[in-house]
Amino acid sequence: MDIKTVLGINQSYGQSRVGRGEAGETAGAGRGKSAESGGAVGSDRVTLSDGAKLVSLAASQAKDAPEVRSDRVAALKAQVDAGTYQPDSKKIAEKMLTMESDLFG
């Protein structure tokens, strides 16, 4: 069996069946150019979900926030080391619920 003539295709194995333009560009490849418009740029569009917008906003705000509040970290570390740090579990739970509500509605 000759691979060149399988299914009526008379090309050698491994060659693309898509035609090539003058500049070596593959015709019909759809890289932002339209064959009908003579190379005009297409109008692709991306739509983000509300969740993605919120994550993007959070990331940009995190970049603008100060990196470390070293005074607060030192105070908390001293409390933990001394065994006097007593986190308020009710406040923690409330904040977690508030954050979840803000993120997921």
Residue with the bigger pLDDT between 72 and 4: it is 72
pTM for this prediction: 0.32
State pLDDT tens for residues 75-99.
Answer: 999 999 999 999 999 999 999 999 8
Give Cβ neighbours of residue 25 (< 8 Å, ≥ 6 apart).
Answer: 31, 33
For residue 26, which phi and psi values (nearest 5 degrees)?
-80, 125
What's the confidence (pLDDT) of residue 29? 47
Beta pairing partners, 26:
20
pLDDT value at residue 9: 52
Tokens of 38: 């003579």
For residue range 22-77, list pLDDT tens digits in order: 444 444 444 444 445 555 677 888 888 888 888 888 888 888 887 888 899 999 99
Q: What is the pLDDT of residue 88?
A: 95
Task: Show Cβ contacts of residue 3 under 8 Å, excluding neighbours closer than 6 positions.
Answer: 12, 13
